[in-house]
Structures are given as C-alpha cells and as structure tokens.
Chain A
Amino acid sequence: MGTMASPLDLETRNETRKDHFVVVHPLDDVPETKVDTESLGPMAMTRSVRFSLLSLRAYLILMVLLVVYHVVMLAR
C-alpha cells in the first residue's frame, strides 16, 4: 500500500477511472450539504399530523391517569 500526496480536485475523485476507485472515510471527507432544517420551520399541520398528535395526547393522558390510579391503589 503506497501513499499519494498529490492534490486532486473533487471532480477527479468522483470521476472514478475504470481501474481505480477512491474511498474516503466520512470523517475525512468534505462535509456534505444537508437539508436546511432551520429554514423549514415547524411541520405543516396536515390532517394526518394533527390526528396523530391528538391520538398521542389522548394516549399520554390515559397512561398518566392509569399510573395515578395504580399509585392510589397501592397507597390504599
């Protein structure tokens, strides 16, 4: 295994020749542009999102009530 230190641009790296491939560890690679989540803001409240969150609230309230009930029963 040899070492090559000649500078190459990204195009050369990506344009793999038939008999050579360059493999780069993610931590050594140029950071990728990801989805810009900050500019998106909160999720749009479509009917399915609203229904899911409402079901979740109902489920959480039910669970809390059950835990309270259980604690009260244990305390008796």
Chain B
Amino acid sequence: MENKVLTMPAAGLDTDLLPVRGRVVKSKWTRDLLTFLMVFGPGLIVMVADNDAGAVSTYSQAGAQYGTHLLWIVLLLLPVCYFIQEMVVRLGIATGKGHAAMIYQRFGKWWGLFSLVDLQAVNFLTLVTEFAAINLALSKMGVDPRYGVPLAAAGLVLLVLTGSYRRWERTVVFLCLLDFAWFWIAFRLGPPVGQIVKHTLAPSMPAGGITADLMFLVIAIVGTTIAPWQLFFQQSCIADKRLRFADVKWARLDTFLGACVTITAAVCMMIAGAASQAHGFRFTDPAQMAADIGTFAGPLMRNLILLMMINAAVLGTTAISLSSAWAYGEVRGWPHSLQLPWRQARGFYSMYLICVAAAAGIVLIPRAPLQLIILGVQVLAGVILPSAVIFLQLLLNDKELLGEYANKPWNNWVNWTIIIVLFILSLILAAQVTAPNLFPSAVGGPTT
C-alpha cells in the first residue's frame, strides 16, 4: 500500500479554517478501510460505555440467579439498541447538532427543559453509582477508596482537558477494547458451549416461571441496555466529530459493531454470574462475585473482574458526564467541543468537572444513601427513556428537518414496536410498585 498525506487549502472558505489534510491511497478497499477507521469511535464508545457499572451488576446478577436462561433476552436487545442508536446517527449527521438542542428547537422550551432536567438528574444519580462501583472494587482490591476514588475522578477530568477530540476518542476506544477481557473471563469460567448456544438462540423460561424477581430483572436488563443518555451522547459526539453525510454508512457500521461487542460482553458477564452460582455462591454485588470467583478460579481472575468493573465505571462516567456537559452547553449556547481548550469552553468543561467531582464526593461521604440513589436511577430512567425515544422517533419522521434521512415506513414499524414494548415494560414496573403481589414470588431460590 502506498499511502500519501496531502495538505490542501479549503477552497472557497474562510482563511482562518485549517487546510484540509487528506491521505492518498491507491485501492478502493484501502480507502474504505481508512474511511471507516476515521469515522469509527462514537458508535463503539456509546455501546461499550453502556455496559457501565450498573450493567455489570445487572447482567452478573441475572447470571447468578437464572444461570444462562436469560441469554436470549440479551440477544433480542442487539437489534433494539442498534435501531435506536442508528436513528441518532442520521439525526446527528444531518443536523450537526446535539439531541438536547434539537428537542429545544423542534418541541419548544417546555419539553426542552423537561428533557434536560430529567437527563441531568438521571445522569448525576447514575454517576454516583459508577463511583460507588469504583469504591467497591478498589476496596476489594485492598486499595483505600479515599485515595483511589479522587484519583479516578482526577484522571477522568484530565482525559477531556487535552483540547483534542481525537486524543479523548483514542484513549476511550482503547479502554473500550479492554472490554474484550470479558470474553476471556467467560471462556475460562463458561459452562459448556452447547448450553450457551441453546439458551441464547432458543428462548427458555427459568424453572419457577414468571415471578416478580424475574420480571424486575428483565426490566432492569432492558433498562440498562437502552439508556437515555446514549441518545444525547452519540448525537453530540457525532456533531463534535463533525461526521459528514458521506460517513453515514460507516457510522452505522461503527454502531452495529459496537452493539455486537456490548451484547457479547453482556453475555460474558452473565456467564461469569452463572459460574459463581454453579459453585454455590449467592449474588450480593459484582465485587463480591469477583471475590467468590477468585476462590475457585484464582486471584488473577478475581482481580481481572474487579479491574473490568472499574473500567466499566470509568467508561460510563466519561460518556455520561460528557452527555450532560454537551446537552447543557447546547441549550445554553456555550461553546461545547472537546476540540476547544479549557479557556474557550469553560462552561462546558466546568459542567463535566462538577458532574465528576460531585458524584465522586458523594460516594466518599460515610453512610451515603446509595441504595436510595440506585432506586432513584431506576425510577427516573424509567420515566425518561420512553419520552426520549418518542422525541427521537418524532424527530426522525420530521421530513422538513431530515429530508431523505427521515425514517422509512419499515423503520417506523420497527421503532414503534420497540417504543410500545418499552412502554409496556415501564407500566409493568409501575404496576409492580403499586401491586407487589402482581406476580408470584420466587420459590426455592435460584434456578439453573
């Protein structure tokens, strides 16, 4: 391959713009690969960051309680998360603006403010749970969280302060690729491949049938796989990276690959939970699960799971804090780009800093009501998700806004089906809250 780098002035544009820097390649195949690698990033990051600390906890709990029986539900979520994020890709590329800005402009101040406040609240509470996970994992590793948590927070702030989107993206993509360690963990701990394939491809119900615990866990799995911040994050990320109309197909591929990685990692987390259950351990939290697994798989495995838990929390924190900072910056009209240095985007970076610092600070408060915060995350996420997806669906049907990038009829069929299922799950959750005996309680403990 004989590649060249060329620099040329941006014809017909302001002279203060950077000259176009391109790479000359000889084959079509190389051109496509290189273009994909340049566009690659937002899709993978949003999907892998979605497997945050809460997701590690939910998936491993599902494995610990129901073995590999719920793997098929995770597989069903692959097209769901792809189709939702694919809409965000089109919207971001066509408008070059973030999701919060679009809701403000197209639905008015009231809905704009509602979405923003709800997003900020649920994001902040989620951030607290991320730092709680870092705290938990560090404690299990013998590191004093009083030093470890502030250090992690400082690292997360420094990550965005380089004034270069590319530097941030490369670092975060590297952290995302570390998620492949879950594959090795599952491979080492995993039950027979035949059982995994069977429970992934053939829907089956755990012994005991539909119980309140099972319903709650299924809703938690759906809720953790499709989170409201993802819509805001990916659209702003695409706008910040300035993806072009020609990049749509590569951004879709990026999103699809990201969805495949995140779903496979989720399956691996469930397998790890199932392995601890198979050895007779009862699930309390993922850090304890790592310690339990360490007793039969060795200290290396224990530390690896704890490190992956920290990595998940770090990825979740940077993505969620950025989605908050981008959304706030868009609505306030502040400069809001990772390409800008601190002095040119003080409001944007301050928002990120406040999110990270406050969440880390709360976790370090002795006897902070973390359980109440986790409940708050679930309630708020349940409220915001269907509304965020409805706004997305309406925006994607806005032909005046998107023209040829608007939804096709088949898109609408798929998306309305997803929205209806999400609403039904939210209503089941609400019904369970008001009528706790709606579904029978589990009898006889976990099933295999």
Binding site for B on A (CB under 8 A): 1-10, 13, 19-32, 34-35, 37-38, 40-44, 48-49, 52-53, 55-56, 59-60, 62-63, 66-67, 69-70
Contacts and interface: CB of A to CB of B under 8 A. Distances in A.
Contact of A66 (B38, B166, B401, B433): B433
Given A9-B11, A35-B402, A62-B430, A27 B394 contact: no
Contacts of A44: 400
A30 B20 contact: yes
Given A21-B31, A22-B23, A29-B20, A40 B400 contact: yes
B142 interface: no
Nearest to A1: B3
Nearest to B375: A70
Contacts of B20: 10, 13, 24, 28-30
B244 A37 contact: no
B434 A70 contact: yes
Contacts of A20: 24-26
B7 A59 contact: no
Given A8-B6, A21-B25, A21-B26, 5 more contacts: A23-B31, A26-B38, A27-B165, A32-B245, A53-B390
Interface in B1-46: 2-13, 17-18, 20-28, 30-31, 34-35, 38-39
Interface of B: 2-13, 17-18, 20-28, 30-31, 34-35, 38-39, 94-97, 101-102, 105-108, 111, 165-166, 241-245, 247, 339, 379, 382-383, 386-387, 390, 393-395, 397-398, 400-403, 423, 426, 430, 433-434
B26 A4 contact: no
Given A20-B24, A23-B34, A25-B21, A43 B106 contact: yes
A8 to B, nearest CB: 4
A59 B382 CA distance: 11
Closest 5 CB pairs of A and B: A34-B96, A4-B6, A21-B31, A24-B22, A28-B21
Given A4-B5, A42-B106, A26 B39 contact: yes
A27 B401 contact: no
A69 B95 CA distance: 41
Contacts of B397: 48
A63 B6 CA distance: 57
- Main secondary structure, interface of A, reads mixed
Contacts of A49: 394
A44 B397 CA distance: 11
Contact of A29 (B7, B107, B242): B242
A63 B429 CA distance: 10
A26 B242 contact: yes
24 contacts: A4-B5, A4-B6, A21-B26, A22-B22, A22-B23, A23-B34, A26-B243, A28-B21, A31-B17, A31-B242, A34-B95, A35-B94, A37-B401, A38-B105, A42-B108, A43-B398, A43-B401, A44-B400, A56-B390, A59-B387, A59-B423, A59-B426, A63-B383, A70-B433
B105 A3 contact: no
Contact of A22 (B24, B38, B102, B245): B24
Contacts of A62: 430
B4 to A, nearest CB: 5
A69 B386 CA distance: 21
Nearest to B39: A26
B321 to A, nearest CB: 21
Nearest to B6: A4
A31 B9 CA distance: 13
A9 B24 CA distance: 14
Contacts of B97: 34, 37
B284 to A, nearest CB: 23
Nearest to A9: B11
Nearest to A41: B105
